[in-house]
Amino acid sequence: MEKRREERTNASFLLKTRLQRARNLFSTDLHHLPTLMAGHSDMVEDDETYVTDGMGGVSMEVRRGKGSIGLADNTLDPSDCPSKSESGNVKYKAQFGRLHTHNEQTLVRPCGVVFARATMYGAEAVSNVLVLIKQAFSVPGARKPEHIFYNSNCDAHQQAQKDPWFSGIGMCVDVWHFKNKHKVSHEYCQMYCNPAQYPELMDEFGNWFFNTSVAEQTNAWLGRYSSICHEMTPVRFDFFS
Per-residue binding letters, 58-97, with Zn ion (x by CB under 5 A): ----------------------------------------
- The smaller minimum CB distance to Zn ion, of residues 71 and 214, is found at 71
Window of 1-9, 38-46, 68-76, 125-133 that interacts with Zn ion by CB under 5 A: 38-46
Contacts of 101 (CB under 8 A, 6+ apart): 119, 120, 121
- The smaller minimum CB distance to Zn ion, of residues 189 and 214, is found at 189
Window of 5-13, 35-43, 63-71, 86-94 that interacts with Zn ion by CB under 5 A: 35-43
Least Å from the CB of residue 16 to Zn ion: 17
Least Å from the CB of residue 180 to Zn ion: 11
Site for Zn ion in 201-230 (CB under 5 A): none
Residue 45 near Zn ion by CB under 5 A: no
Whole-Å CA distances, 12 to 200, 211, 217: 12, 12, 20
- The smaller minimum CB distance to Zn ion, of residues 179 and 182, is found at 182
Site for Zn ion in 98-157 (CB under 5 A): 154
With CB under 5 A as the contact rule, the residue among 11, 22, 42, 214 that binds Zn ion is 42
- The smaller minimum CB distance to Zn ion, of residues 8 and 18, is found at 18
Site for Zn ion in 174-193 (CB under 5 A): 182, 189
Least Å from the CB of residue 239 to Zn ion: 37
| DSSP assignments along the chain, one per residue | -HHHHHHHHHHHHHHHHHHHHHHHHT-S-TTPPPPP-TT--S---EEEEEEE-SSS-EEEEEEE-SS--S--GGGS-TT------SS---------SPPPP-EEEEEE-TTS-EEEEEEESSS--HHHHHHHHHHHT-STT----SEEE-TTHHHHHHHHTT-GGGTT-EEE--HHHHHHHS-TT-HHHHHHS-GGG-GGGB-TTS-BSS-TTHHHHHHHHHHTTHHHHTT--HHHHHHH-
Least Å from the CB of residue 73 to Zn ion: 16
- The smaller minimum CB distance to Zn ion, of residues 44 and 201, is found at 44
Number of residues that bind Zn ion (CB under 5 A): 4
Chain residues binding Zn ion by CB under 5 A are 42, 154, 182, 189
